[in-house]
């Protein structure tokens, strides 16, 4: 296995689910086998990106009511059969996704704060097995974990098994203060153990993208948001200094993504969208780390 990556943030709505789902697809398109885990167990949303109605959930594996093979869904065909997939012969990796059950009973059952120490340890043991045993048995190259925002039982567990923590944030003061706090109180403990953590700005100061540009293959997104980057550079410089973390990317807020009434996989739906271009840059960097 190459890497286990956790997407985390202080607040919700910073793009963890959107980016983890889209990055997983891009990695599969590069030939990697990916296991995408929905560990935002308190408010899972990954189902919507893949339009799935699972029978088994990651909850079943954690509580020993299903084998791992039953709780992972091979969704590679969604990528292969997508109408914009240019080359049906392209050598894809495999995409496995495990979803989290959003029913109130299941969330309560899983919530660490309500559990006895012994059963918490058993849950944790099963969770670690996913990285240590299951990923190897299924020849997984990348585990991508979509986590809950803030400091909660399952987000801490996810950060603990990650090799790389991608902390996403939006540009507003609460997020920045919260992020600084998490970096100093939580991430520093993991980085001492060798985990790498980096910052990813998402939904940075926005603008609407005219639909005709989305179709434009030669569109150069960097040139068009250079002014946005300049405006935000003061904040990013300050944050970089305060939290001592590398900034791995800066993704603007695109109105067509934000205001669509259904979540979708932008990298499949709009292969020439600047969002897709920026996520490909992100994958280049992740892959080299």
Ligand X SMILES: Nc1ncnc2c1ncn2[C@@H]1O[C@H](COP(=O)(O)OP(=O)(O)O)[C@@H](O)[C@H]1O
Question: Rg of the chain's alpha carbons, rounded to an integer?
Answer: 19
Q: How distant is the alpha carbon of residue 103 from its chain centre? A: 22
CA separation for the pair 134, 136 (Å, rounded): 5
Q: At closest approach, how far in Å is the CB of 153 from ligand X?
A: 18
CA separation for the pair 67, 98 (Å, rounded): 12
Whether the Cβ atoms of residue 29 and residue 190 lie closer than 8 Å to each other: no
Q: Which stretch binds Mg ion (CB under 5 A): 35-43, 126-134, 220-228, 266-274?
A: 35-43
Q: Which does 14 bind (CB under 5 to 8 A by kind): Mg ion, ligand X, none?
A: ligand X
In the numeric block, which tokens belong to residue 232? 């935000």
Q: At closest approach, how far in Å is the CB of 21 from ligand X?
A: 8
Would you call 248 helix, strand, or coil by DSSP? Answer: strand
Nearer to Mg ion, 45 or 100 (CB): 45
Q: Which does 94 bind (CB under 5 to 8 A by kind): ligand X, Mg ion, none?
A: none
Residue from 9, 14, 17, 101 in contact with Mg ion (CB under 5 A): 17
Give, rounded to a whole angstrom, the gap between the first and last alpha carbons of the chain.
14
Residue ranges in 173-202 that form contacts with Mg ion under rule CB under 5 A: none
Q: Which does 44 bind (CB under 5 to 8 A by kind): Mg ion, ligand X, none?
A: none
CA separation for the pair 114, 108 (Å, rounded): 8
Q: At closest approach, how far in Å is the CB of 118 from ligand X?
A: 32
Q: Which residues bind ligand X (CB under 6 A)?
A: 9, 12-18, 45, 202-203, 251, 253-254, 257-258, 263, 275
Q: Which stretch binds Mg ion (CB under 5 A): 14-22, 150-158, 179-187, 270-278?
A: 14-22
Distances (CA, A) of 191 to 97, 132, 154, 185, 194: 27, 20, 18, 11, 5
Q: At closest approach, how far in Å is the CB of 156 from ligand X?
A: 17
Applying CB under 5 A, the residues found at the interface with Mg ion are 16-17, 40, 45
């Amino acid at each position: 296995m190459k890497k286990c990556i956790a997407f985390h943030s202080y607040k919700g709505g910073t793009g963890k689910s959107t980016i983890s789902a889209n990055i997983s697809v891009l990695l599969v398109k590069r030939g990697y086998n990916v296991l995408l885990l929905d560990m935002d167990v308190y408010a899972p949303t990954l189902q919507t990106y893949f339009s799935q109605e699972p029978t088994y959930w990651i909850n079943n594996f954690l509580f020993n009511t299903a084998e791992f093979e039953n709780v992972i869904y091979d969704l590679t065909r969604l990528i292969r059969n997508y109408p914009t997939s240019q080359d049906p012969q392209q050598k894809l990796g495999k995409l496995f996704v495990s979803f989290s059950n959003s029913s109130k009973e299941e969330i309560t059952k899983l919530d660490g704060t309500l559990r006895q120490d012994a059963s918490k340890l058993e849950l944790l043991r099963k969770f670690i097995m996913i990285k240590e045993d299951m990923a190897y048995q299924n020849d997984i190259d990348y585990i991508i974990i979509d986590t809950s925002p803030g400091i909660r039982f399952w987000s801490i567990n996810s950060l603990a098994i990650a090799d790389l923590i991608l902390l996403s944030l939006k540009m507003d003061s609460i997020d920045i203060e919260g992020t600084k706090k998490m970096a100093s109180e939580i991430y520093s403990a993991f980085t001492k153990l060798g985990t790498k953590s980096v910052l990813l700005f998402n939904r940075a100061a926005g603008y609407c993208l005219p639909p005709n540009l989305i179709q434009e293959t030669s569109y150069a997104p960097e040139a068009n948001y250079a002014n946005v980057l300049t405006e935000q550079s003061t904040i990013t410089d300050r944050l970089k200094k305060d939290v001592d973390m590398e900034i791995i990317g800066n993704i603007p807020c695109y109105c067509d993504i934000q205001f669509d009434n259904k979540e979708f996989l932008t990298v499949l739906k709009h292969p020439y969208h600047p969002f897709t271009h920026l996520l490909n840059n992100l994958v280049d960097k992740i892959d080299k780390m």
